[in-house]
Structure 1
Amino acid sequence: MPTRRALIALATLAAVPAAAQPAFPQRPVRLVVPFPPGGTTDVLARALAAKWQDAWGQQVVVDNRGGGGGVIGTQEVARAAPDGHTLVLGNNQTHATNGALIPGLPYDPAAFAAITLVARAPHALVVPAASPARTVAELVELGRRPGRGLSYASSSAGSSSHLMSETFARRNGMNATHVPYRGAAPAAQDLVAGVVDFMMATWASVSALAADGRIRALAVGGDARFPDAPGVPTLKELGFDYVSADAWFGLFAPFGTPMPLLERVHAATEAALADPVVRGRLEAAGFRIETMPPAAFGPFHQAEVGRWAALVREAGVTLTN
């Protein structure tokens, strides 16, 4: 956790007038994605990086540092200089659940400078197109059959898809085995191939596969049905609201990054996401765009640390790093 001295130093930096702050950015910016290319976090990062680069006139490099359920890339940013030139696009796994899941985690999820929420991604319960389950009830019945047993994929061990799938299986008395992957993209590929039986995936990572019939969506998360899948019921309306939590994605900087720099990145992010082309493309991909300034995102993040820790306890999941 940040020391009292570090907290005082941060407050002092934040109090320096914006006019006294150096120009930003002064060199290329590195945006770390702690997951492999092609996943939901990567899609968001590349959309932001392109717009930032245009606005700042500096190169913005998206650096995929997958591994360890997001630990490797997130740890790198925690150790980086707090000058705004190294940022991480994290999510509820890297900056909330990992703290409850992994004993001896090499970084404190709460000890980052929170910049802004970027988007939420509701989940969907999906099965291969060839699955005999055409409803959630039928999937539950398959998982309860003696000797049958199902397998479910997740984007990584400890991810929201893992926690919600495990909670879903436990609450419904299903015999289901977890198969973790290194990212949503390879997990979805094996789902299409029928290697695994079901997956609780972000709609952003599987909507295209559902649209062309390669997988079947049994239910979606959130309070309302998705506009591009109006015939798919919500988990909430089916009585499974306890696994209807959204994944969220947010920008963080190393602890001690001055507030004026955080506010500049937040402003650039809001401008990028206000672009109708960018926003439309991301919303069509299943994201729900939502931003908030550092002063609001910080408390939101702290509350999420506690909320996801409770979900970890219910799922009964523990990991080793």
Structure 2
Amino acid sequence: MIRRRHVLALPLAAPALALAQGGAPLRLIVPAPPGGSTDILARLLTERAGATLGQAVVVDNRGGAGGIIGTEAASRAPADGNTVVLGHNQTHASNQWMARNLPYNVTESFAPVARLATVHHATVVPANSPARDMAGLVAMGRDGRRVTYASSQAGSASHVIAETFVRRNNMDATHVPYRGGGPATQDTVAGVVNFYVSTWPGVVNLVRDNRLRALSIGAPARIEGFPDLPTAAEAGMPYMAVDAWFGLFAPAGTEPARVTRLAEAFLGALNAGDMAPRLAQAGLNPAPLAPAPFAAFQRAEVERWREMAQITGIMMES
């Protein structure tokens, strides 16, 4: 969970800017509540991207249903280049296979604009948990003992990664889905559940403050500031190294020239000289991709999550 002072320090979309510049603002739909990784990334980039575009960027938080509510709204918006959605691996990949009656198609309903960032997932336990490492957590879920694990939403990456971990290690575990990462994190801190596979930005400050204990992180190497935190591969769980990703999408039919212009503005904001430390502070890894390579990446991710849906059998109501 990002500390409140960090959230307050992020640039907010300013309605006054729209009045000063005139014309319609760009509506950036964030299919998640304020304060999470998706929202934080959006607010880090809006001010500079808006300046490049010459129009205000207004963040429109529409959370719920694993991102489906906000993403559907974006799919139904006019393809006039003034609406985009900051999607992620669930809204624009796994929901295609894990959500019943999905009201949009993750590829056909959208024009990919740009991939912006990725985040790692970490396995965390309450600070007073007897599990000191991943092997200890596995032991907690065996020999007739049942453990519980949180997820930010049924069908989310946190659910899929944790369920894969449970199945591969023959653990007796019960899934406890929450409506967002915030409540899941809070109950993990309180010891209501035994573990949670969270995006790193959502728990890094709690780990730093010793309110949660991190057992592993799905990064390719140990991360700066946490030299004692093993990678998932080092912990013997390489299959848990599944990054979340965030990217910008416009409604299908948006003019290619406008898609290119949007990509230039947001990738320019992402690559600004002062952005790297701000992203790092939030646990976000810049991962820029222009429209064409981002579209290819998304297609590969859709196939990857199809396979993971088959392995876990996870399905959620949409």
Q: CA deviation at 1:58?
A: 2.3
Kept after mapping to 2: 8 A contact 1:25/1:84? no
Distance in 2 between residues matched to 1:316 and 1:236, nearest whole Å: 24
Kindly tell me: are residues 25 and 31 of structure 1, through their superposed partners in 2, closer, same or farther at Cα, counting changes over 3 Å? farther
Q: 1:270 aligns with which of 267, 272, 289?
A: 267
Kindly tell me: are residues 203 and 26 of structure 1, through their superposed partners in 2, closer, same or farther at Cα, counting changes over 3 Å? same
Q: Report the secondary structure of 2:274's partner residue.
A: helix
Distance in 2 between residues matched to 1:215 and 1:276, nearest whole Å: 32
Q: CA deviation at 1:192?
A: 1.0
Distance in 1 between residues matched to 2:52 and 2:33, nearest whole Å: 26
Q: Deviations over 1:206-236 (max 9, x none)?
A: 1111111110000010211111211100011
Q: Which residue of 1 aligns with 2:125?
A: 127
Kept after mapping to 2: 8 A contact 1:114/1:294? yes
Q: CA deviation at 1:165?
A: 0.4
Distance in 1 between residues matched to 2:171 and 2:40, nearest whole Å: 33
**Residue 92 (structure 2) pairs with residue 101 (structure 1):** no
Q: CA deviation at 1:157?
A: 1.2
Q: Which residue of 1 aligns with 2:55?
A: 58
Runs of 4+ in structure 1 deviating by more than 4 angstroms, as ranges, are none
Kept after mapping to 1: 8 A contact 2:53/2:262? no
Q: Which residue of 2 aligns with 1:202?
A: 199
Q: 1:192 aligns with which of 189, 192, 207?
A: 189
**Residue 280 (structure 2) pairs with residue 280 (structure 1):** no
Q: Which residue of 1 aligns with 2:78?
A: 81
Q: Deviations over 1:111-159 (max 9, x none)?
A: 210001110101111111011101000000001131x311111111111
Kept after mapping to 2: 8 A contact 1:127/1:216? yes
Distance in 2 between residues matched to 1:285 and 1:84, nearest whole Å: 29
Q: Which residue of 1 aligns with 2:16?
A: none
User: Residue type matched to 1:90 in 2?
Assistant: G
Q: Which residue of 1 aligns with 2:220?
A: 223
Q: Which residue of 2 aligns with 1:261?
A: 258
Q: Deviations over 1:178-216 (max 9, x none)?
A: 112222122111111111111111111111111111100
Q: Report the secondary structure of 1:139's partner residue.
A: helix
Distance in 2 between residues matched to 1:103 and 1:318, nearest whole Å: 7
Q: How much is the aligned-residue C-alpha RMSD, in angstroms? A: 1.5
Distance in 2 between residues matched to 1:103 and 1:37, nearest whole Å: 26
Q: CA deviation at 1:87?
A: 0.6
Q: Which residue of 2 aligns with 1:90?
A: 87
User: Residue type matched to 1:193 in 2?
Assistant: A
Q: CA deviation at 1:26?
A: 4.3
Kept after mapping to 2: 8 A contact 1:36/1:182? no
Distance in 1 between residues matched to 2:281 and 2:268, nearest whole Å: 19
Q: Report the secondary structure of 1:296's partner residue.
A: helix
Distance in 1 between residues matched to 2:119 and 2:128, nearest whole Å: 26
Q: Which residue of 2 aligns with 1:302?
A: 299
Q: Which residue of 2 aligns with 1:32?
A: 29
TM-score, scaled relative to structure 2:
0.90
Q: CA deviation at 1:240?
A: 0.6
Kept after mapping to 2: 8 A contact 1:164/1:315? no
Calculate percent identity across the aligned residue pairs.
49
Distance in 2 between residues matched to 1:276 and 1:211, nearest whole Å: 26
Q: CA deviation at 1:284?
A: 2.4
User: Residue type matched to 1:260 in 2?
Assistant: A
Distance in 2 between residues matched to 1:251 and 1:26, nearest whole Å: 22
Larger mean Cα displacement after TM superposition, 251-260 or 184-193: 184-193
Q: Which residue of 2 aligns with 1:142?
A: 140
Kindly tell me: are residues 137 and 71 of structure 1, through their superposed partners in 2, closer, same or farther at Cα, counting changes over 3 Å? same
Kept after mapping to 2: 8 A contact 1:25/1:85? no
Q: Which residue of 2 aligns with 1:113?
A: 111
Kept after mapping to 2: 8 A contact 1:116/1:294? yes
Q: CA deviation at 1:25?
A: 9.7
Q: Report the secondary structure of 1:290's partner residue.
A: strand
User: Residue type matched to 1:143 in 2?
Assistant: G
Kept after mapping to 2: 8 A contact 1:116/1:292? yes
Kindly tell me: are residues 25 and 276 of structure 1, through their superposed partners in 2, closer, same or farther at Cα, counting changes over 3 Å? farther
Kindly tell me: are residues 25 and 81 of structure 1, through their superposed partners in 2, closer, same or farther at Cα, counting changes over 3 Å? farther
Q: Deviations over 1:213-269 (max 9, x none)?
A: 110000010211111211100011222111111011110000011111111111111
Q: Which residue of 1 aligns with 2:249?
A: 252
User: Gapped runs of 5+ residues in structure 1?
Assistant: 1-23
Q: Report the secondary structure of 1:291's partner residue.
A: strand
